[in-house]
């Protein structure tokens, strides 16, 4: 079973260079706001190392968890796997070359889990290209490669607040010989990304995803310059087998990486959340993952490595109803969610209803002293406790009225024009801590686009297809679920169709293919 997608997910083949970069709203537009239409999330995994024979970790058990239980619990808009899908260790000798048996096992895994190319974006890594110049095995066996016939893919999430662009790059170049790797960002893919940006000048945020660190591959300066030209952005990767958050290439580029799904059990399934143009990223482990708690508003003044968060905003304390939001993920019933800010009394948070897993409270913060204050959300799920603590910056009033999510007209076809994008003030020193355990994954879209050199033509939804819920998917014998899309979406398993229409209008998911 997959989760629900609010708004639309569009897979696009962005081809060619128009010569002028579009200007997105940018991460500095992050702000505190009322409403939940500006909130969505996705799941990130990396370094699956399918069929690894030389490491004792049960990588297939972790993979089944990520694409099965985690997807069902977290209900993300989509899932990204940033490379090293297989181990490339034929005969148990690492990095010696590709093995069709490994690829068959990987393909069976995502097929059993019901993954579709509009929901599951599997990018290539260096292990996927060892001994395989031009990636013939990846192109024939990965979900995106076999759909798009390319190592590049781009897509967007469209909400009533605005559109968000995602570019999946191949940082492993054209592959390599055995043992050695040759990381590089391909010029054609950089041009395709620039073209995609130029065609979407009103994008709110831009995310680039690939296998290696942003500054490692050849041509990395060009990718860095693209994000710098947008006023900053977000880069997400794997490869290093670490869970970290830091800036790289430029102070305005915030980077997140997840631990290896195949070779570790901790911090190997991550969730990235956008809440009114603020981005929050946390990970859980495949061992004892739940409950996972993520504060999405306000935002932490620091990144996990202790650096100042360049996109933290300040909160005016002199309001009697400052909104706080948090995601709570767990495999059982959530019986209590509690919030404390500084020394203020603990208050209960309530379910936001839609999107699912989101909890909210309006808090009287007028008694807080100005300055950095700890914000802690604790949750009880199926009798287990989890929590998340950040430090947010509170400032003296007078306070401006907070932006409010735009209303959705149920009679419209698609999203609604975006709301107030007023940015917040910069943050100050503080910290982020987490206790309890965490988790990951889930949601969907329809159709999928081609890469910059081949226009893929698969997917169930046409460019103007409306919302068509499917029957609840059946669970496959191999774990996960056998999800089927009827038209562009599979929402009915989570919400009644009437509730979706009333809250979000006739949101649609579509596909655009452009070939040069």
| pLDDT on residue 285 | 97
- C-alpha span between 311 and 321 (Å, rounded): 23
Q: 455 and 405, same structural domain? A: no
Residue 184, beta-bridge partner list = 172, 218
Return the pLDDT at 379.
Answer: 98
Domain assignment of residue 320, given as a range: 314-409+421-435
Q: Does 59 share its domain with 194?
A: yes
More reliable by pLDDT, 179 or 421: 179
Q: Are 352 and 481 found together in one domain?
A: no
- DSSP run (H or E) holding 222: helix 220-229
Mean pLDDT of the 115-124 span: 98
Contact 81, 211 (CB under 8 A): no
> Domain containing 400 — which CATH number?
2.60.40.10
- Residue 11 — very low, low, confident or very high, per pLDDT cuts 50/70/90? low
178 occurs within a structural domain: yes
- Are 448 and 496 in a shared domain? yes
The reply to whether 468 and 377 lie within a common domain is no
Instruction: Match 């580029």 to its residue by tokens.
Output: 253
Domain identity same for 203 and 72: yes
Q: Answer whether residue 461 is part of any domain.
A: yes
Is the pLDDT at 444 greater than 50? The verdict is: no
Burial of 392 (0-12, 13-18, 19+ CB in 10 A): buried
Q: Are 9 and 118 in contact (CB under 8 A)?
A: yes
Average model confidence (pLDDT) across the chain: 79
Element (H, E) at 122: strand 120-123
- Tally of domains within the chain: 2
CB 230 within 8 A of CB 197: yes
Reference 65, options 253, 252, 223, 261; nearest CA is 261
pLDDT band of 506, cuts 50, 70, 90: very low
Q: Is residue 101 assigned to a domain?
A: yes
Helices 187-198 and 220-229 sit at what angle, rounded to 10 degrees?
Answer: 10
**23 within some domain:** no
> To 10 degrees, the CA torsion angle through 231, 418, 10, 272?
60
Residues 332, 454 within the same domain: no
Question: How confident is the model over 180-219, as pLDDT tens digits?
Answer: 899 999 999 999 999 999 999 999 999 999 999 999 999 9
The model's pTM: 0.80
Domain presence at residue 516: yes
* Residue 382 pLDDT class (50, 70, 90 cuts): very high
Residue 205 lies in a domain: yes
- Same domain, yes or no: 386 and 444: no
- Give the up-direction half-sphere exposure of residue 271: CA atoms within 13 A in the CB hemisphere: 33
Cis peptide before 471 (omega within 30 of 0): no
With 90 as the cut, is the pLDDT of residue 448 above it? no
pLDDT tens for each residue of 135-144:
999 999 999 9
Q: Is the peptide bond before 396 cis (omega within 30 degrees of 0)?
A: no
Tokens matching residue 230:
């947008």
In this structure, the answer to whether residues 132 and 159 fall within a common structural domain is yes
Neighbours of 183 (CB within 10 A): 22
Do 140 and 177 sit in the same domain of this protein?
Answer: yes
Together in a domain, 212 and 150: yes
């Amino acid at each position: 079973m997959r989760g629900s997608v609010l708004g639309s997910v569009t897979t696009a083949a962005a081809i060619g260079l128009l010569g002028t970069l579009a200007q997105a709203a940018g991460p500095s537009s992050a702000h505190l706001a009322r409403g939940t239409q500006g909130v969505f999330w996705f799941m990130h995994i990396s370094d699956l190392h399918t069929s690894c024979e030389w490491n004792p970790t049960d990588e297939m058990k972790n993979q089944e968890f990520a694409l099965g239980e985690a997807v069902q619990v977290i209900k993300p808009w989509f899932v990204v796997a940033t490379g090293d899908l297989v181990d490339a260790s034929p005969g148990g000798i690492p990095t010696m070359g590709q093995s069709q048996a490994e690829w068959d096992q990987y393909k069976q895994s995502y097929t059993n889990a019901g993954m579709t190319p509009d929901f599951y974006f599997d990018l290539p890594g260096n292990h996927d290209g060892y001994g395989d110049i031009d990636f013939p095995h990846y192109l024939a066996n990965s979900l995106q490669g076999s759909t798009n016939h390319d190592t590049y893919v781009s897509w967007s999430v469209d909400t009533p607040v605005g559109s968000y662009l995602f570019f999946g790059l191949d940082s492993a170049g054209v592959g390599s010989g055995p043992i050695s790797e040759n990381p590089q960002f391909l010029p054609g893919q950089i041009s395709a990304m620039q073209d995609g940006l130029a065609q979407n000048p009103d994008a709110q945020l831009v995310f680039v995803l690939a296998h290696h660190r942003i500054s490692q591959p050849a041509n990395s300066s060009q990718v860095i310059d693209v994000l710098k030209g947008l006023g900053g952005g977000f880069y997400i990767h794997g490869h290093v087998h670490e869970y970290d958050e830091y800036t790289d290439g430029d102070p305005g580029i915030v980077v997140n990486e997840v631990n290896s799904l195949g070779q570790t059990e901790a911090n190997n399934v991550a969730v990235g959340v956008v809440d009114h143009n603020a981005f929050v990223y946390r990970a859980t482990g495949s061992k004892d993952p739940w409950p996972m708690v993520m504060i999405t508003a306000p935002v932490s003044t620091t990144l996990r490595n202790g650096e100042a968060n360049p996109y933290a905003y300040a909160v005016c304390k002199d309001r009697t109803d400052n909104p706080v939001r948090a995601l709570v993920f767990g495999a059982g019933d959530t019986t209590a969610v509690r919030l404390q800010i500084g020394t203020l009394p603990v208050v209960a948070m309530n379910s936001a209803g839609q999107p699912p897993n989101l909890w909210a409270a309006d808090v009287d913060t007028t008694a807080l002293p100005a300055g950095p204050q700890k914000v802690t959300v604790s949750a009880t799920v199926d009798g287990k406790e989890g929590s998340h603590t950040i430090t947010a910056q509170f400032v003296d009033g007078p306070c401006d009225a907070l932006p409010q999510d735009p209303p959705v007209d149920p009679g419209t076809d698609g999203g609604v024009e975006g709301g107030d994008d007023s940015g917040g003030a910069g943050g100050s020193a503080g910290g982020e801590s987490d206790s309890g355990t965490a988790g990951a994954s889930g949601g969907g879209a329809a159709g999928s686009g081609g890469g910059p050199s081949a226009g893929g033509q698969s997917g169930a939804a046409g460019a103007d297809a409306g919302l068509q819920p499917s029957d609840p998917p059946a669970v496959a014998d191999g774990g996960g679920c056998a999800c089927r899309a009827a038209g562009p979406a599979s929402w009915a398993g989570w919400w009644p169709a009437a509730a979706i229409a009333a809250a979000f209008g006739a949101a649609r998911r579509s596909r655009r293919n452009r070939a040069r």
